[in-house]
Chain A
Amino acid sequence: MSSKHILDWDVNKKHFLLVRDFYERYRGEMNLVLLTGDATLDSKIAEKMTHRPGLALTGFTDVYSNRRIQVLGSTEWAYLESLGPEGRKLVFAKLARFPTPLWVLTHSLPPHEELLAMCEQYGIPLLRTKLGTQEFVTLAHRILAEWFAPYSDIHASLVDVYGVGMLYVGDSNIGKSECVLDLVERGHRLVADDSVRVRRIGDAVIGSCNSIVEHHMEIRGIGVIDIPRLFGIHAVRRVKKIELIVELQFWSPDASYERTGLDEKFANVLGVDVPKVVIPVSPGKNITVISEVMAMNQLMKLNGVNVAQEFNARIIQAMHDKGRRSPESELGSAFGRTDELYE
């Protein structure tokens, strides 16, 4: 039952990005100008890659990634320019048979009539950007990777504790929200309570809040509260990488809990292994300080210090030294030097 909270998330994927959404969201940042009619913006992007159709322009279309965004840089533009109007007419007559989601001209290059005609006729949007080709492609890949990233909406809470993204999972009424509120009160930052949108971007698992709920919380007995208005803007953040999963469980006398810290557990989240700890909770037990300690310990591990391993090495060294020590020094090490009392 315990791991089901973590492993049984339904993974969703977006199937397309409407060019209208892309254009309206990024027209400022990418300096986009729409060269075709407004209706062409209803086109859908379904692949998270871009394509530079150099070979397709030369007539080789046996392999042509036409479902991707088609990017024309100065190379492609210069080639089209060299063809003259008749040559371009032939090229675009052939390419018109392949459905494409979007064409983009970089470096603010002026569109050729033949390209514009093809786009208008088939309802394909044509955008122009001031950005260079590499800049546009890099930015577009980032945007598309985030948009098409697999995601889950999970019942959990996410808090940034000393810069460590801690995701709290566990049964309802185990006290996740109370723990989160306690952490916020101690100066840590709420990302999302009760529902977290989790996305995988590259090898990272990123959590964010729901855009409607944002940083509201429900506390039983009080109702809905607004965290940034109560505690200030520093009490919240919108997005955070998930670095530690804290599974809260009702304490059970029969269960075994980690004692040494030598065995690290992981939970697989959207294909990424994220460190996980199971914390037993009993009524009245304060897990806030434990949370802070876990965050600091995690920071130490990220900085290459593993106290559990160091401590174990110390014990093994002590056993090893025993054979070579007199009983007096053993006594000294066990009880501390008494002269320290008089310093």
Chain B
Amino acid sequence: MVKRVLPVTNRLGIHARPAGMIVDITTHAKSDVQIHYGDLRANAKSILNVMMLAAEPGSEVTFVIEGEDEERVADELQKLFENRFNED
């Protein structure tokens, strides 16, 4: 199992477009992917689950990934967050 804490640094937070990018990675993953935000836990393969969190700029989310490609998925997600979802 991999736990990856990622800061939300893009200007608008995890709105629909970033959420779409996240599930594009997670739905192609073989691993189970959970996203934790505060007390909320969501299935990171469901776009509505991810959007429901409304993770705002300056906050942090934690991905909990379990499965054969967990390291690769964690790295891809990290890269996506670091690139600020190609927003700016």
Contacts and interface: CB of A to CB of B under 8 A. Distances in A.
Interface in B18-34: 19-20, 23-24, 28
Contact of B47 (A256, A259, A318, A323): A259
Interface stretch (A89-97, A109-117, A308-316): A308-316
A311 B48 CA distance: 11
B17 A320 contact: no
Given A260-B47, A312-B15, A253 B28 contact: yes
Contact of B17 (A262, A318, A334): A262
21 contacts: A253-B28, A254-B28, A256-B24, A260-B16, A260-B20, A260-B47, A262-B16, A262-B17, A311-B51, A315-B14, A315-B15, A315-B16, A316-B12, A316-B13, A316-B15, A318-B54, A319-B13, A319-B55, A319-B57, A322-B54, A323-B56
A340 to B, nearest CB: 19
Interface residues of A, number: 17
Contact of A259 (B13, B14, B20, B28): B20
Contact of B16 (A254, A308, A320, A334): A308
Interface residues of B, number: 18
B56 A312 contact: no
Interface of B: 12-17, 19-20, 23-24, 28, 40, 47, 51, 54-57
Contacts of B57: 319
Contacts, number: 44
Contacts of A320: 56
B54 A259 contact: no
Contacts of A308: 16
Contacts of B55: 319
Interface string A243-265: 00000000001101001101000
Contacts of B23: 259
Contacts of B16: 260, 262, 308, 311-312, 315
A282 B26 CA distance: 21
Contacts of A253: 28
Contacts of A260: 16-17, 19-20, 47
A326 to B, nearest CB: 14
A322 B57 CA distance: 11
Contact of B56 (A262, A311, A319, A334): A319
Contacts of B56: 319-320, 322-323
Nearest to A312: B16
